[in-house]
Structure 1
Amino acid sequence: MEALKTMDLNALLEKNRAFTSLGKVANYIPELDKANPNAFGVCIMDLEGNEYCAGECNEKFTIQSISKIVTLMLALLDNGKEYVFSKVGMEPSGDPFNSIRKLETSSRKKPYNPMINAGAIAVSSMIKGDDGRDKFNRLLDFFRKIMEDDSIDVNYKIYIGESETGNRNRSMGYFLKSEGIIKGEVEEALDVYFKQCSIEVTAKNIAKLGLFLARNGVTSTGEQVVPYKIIRIIKTLMFTCGMYDKSGEFAVKVGLPSKSGVGGGIVSVVPGKLGIGIYAPALDEKGNSVAGTKFLEDFAEMFDFRVL
């Protein structure tokens, strides 16, 4: 796009780098606290194949909750919309991503949406396969296909930390099993979930994911990997639930389907135009990248790419 060619991406990034000092890196999972809080990278990709990158766009980090949108795509392909949403809702929860409060107090019992941990664990349990290893290998191959990078893999140090400290997630998993939301082995579902969160990516990788969504499920080779009806569901849930319990404020200020992760990543989509990948691991109190969010506010204002 011509407007992007004239943009000084480095200047926009450096303007917002100061906001990294207002956040803190996640420390509740071992190894995440080793991230450089001043790191900041941005990559923007358009449908014509152009890439615009600045800062630490090649630095690796774990995808964390951004993985939820990819796993949901595969679960919908494996099971269909009716089954998936019979087990998981579609509404914003208004609670932190790791909250368990509404699982028992709500009359619905099922998780509010697939973007919170309880919903994501339920979705991970729906991936088809002969056993846990086969299920995760299918999922990893799916990540590699839509991000067009066969080198993508798990950071096993993070995975071990996720598994060893994941007691709250385990409690959610067993509650969901008791309510009939999870079929099969709970530990198998949790292992898939812990591994998917521990997949290592760069800002370029998640920009490619954003571009895949902007193309409505089509890769750069022209292959329709995911049908539009599923991509529409994914982008809608990103818009309403993708930024934890700050999703409404983000929708007003930025207005783009986006998903964050506590590893510091944000993927954003300008439908039919751009995929955006951001890495800045200093987080706000909700778990979103501070500098990344501020960058997207400026970017949306400059180009008026807002969906609404």
Structure 2
Amino acid sequence: MLLSHSYVNISFFQPHAFLMIGIPGLEAVHGWISIPFSFMYTVALTGNCLILLAVRRTPSLHQPMYYFLSMLALTDVGLTLSTLPTTLAVLWFDYRHIGFNACLVQMFFLHSFSVVESSVLLAMSFDRFVAISNPLHYAAILTNNVIIRIGLAIVARATLSLFPVPFLLKRLNFCPDKILLSHSFCFHPDVMRRACADITINIHYGLYVVLSTGGIDSLFIILSYVLILHTVLGLASPRERIRAFNTCVSHILAVFVFFIPGITMSMIHRFGRHLPTVVHALVAYVYLVVPPVLNPIIYSVKSKPIREAMIRMLKRKGQG
């Protein structure tokens, strides 16, 4: 009670900057850890940019499926760039400071791109459902205008969902002695718990955003695949079933790569506060860094048109 009373009487405080810890307990080997992180960031940016260029320069890939793949690649580039500057600054140069407002901006974009990625994966499941269940009208249903509207709706949804979050944090009184973040980037649960104030509204709104975006998206993705499975099982020959389901394998892997770490991270933040901080940090890195790395690998391996387009593009560049 005395501690609570003392915080009521102090003046309103917002830190000029936060200090980022990087990976808790492993600060002494940050230099070595920076090597795999630099490699992963390079793979993520290179792979996703190659997909974007391959789709743009290959007329045969100007189809709804590959337009949605381009949205996913562009989102992964944005997600990578959201964490790359501060993560490498901490690991390479031991530069741990990030301004309060800069932290809120990074947090907004980081979480916005996460919501966009969830939404794009849902749109891709809808694309696969239409392609398998109604192939004759596929192009008529998913026209360029429809795809553009879906893309704009995804961006609007992410922006409107995350827009209140920085302002809900700016109203809080922070603790002068609690400015050390558990990651090398600004993550909403981490920043929120640095406050010396009632964060009930922040917790409830954060839970609302998670459930209304990733939660709903995951349910509709599952529903899409239930309907897809029903359609595939209704096909006459086993060969047609395999061919139809093969068009979904890349997307299924991308869904697992994104949602499993995301669900794990949400559960840990809500029910695993007793776990070591290094566990929280590593799960957050897996959620934010690994999907942008694996998605271009998955699609270049499993999608023959994408793989061939990327190889042709690289050969032309090598010859030039």
What's the TM-score bracket when you normalise by the shorter of the two chains?
0.3 to 0.5
Q: For the pair shown, which has the larger CA radius of gyration, 1 or 2?
A: 2
TM-score, normalised on structure 1? 0.32
Structure with the larger helix share: 2
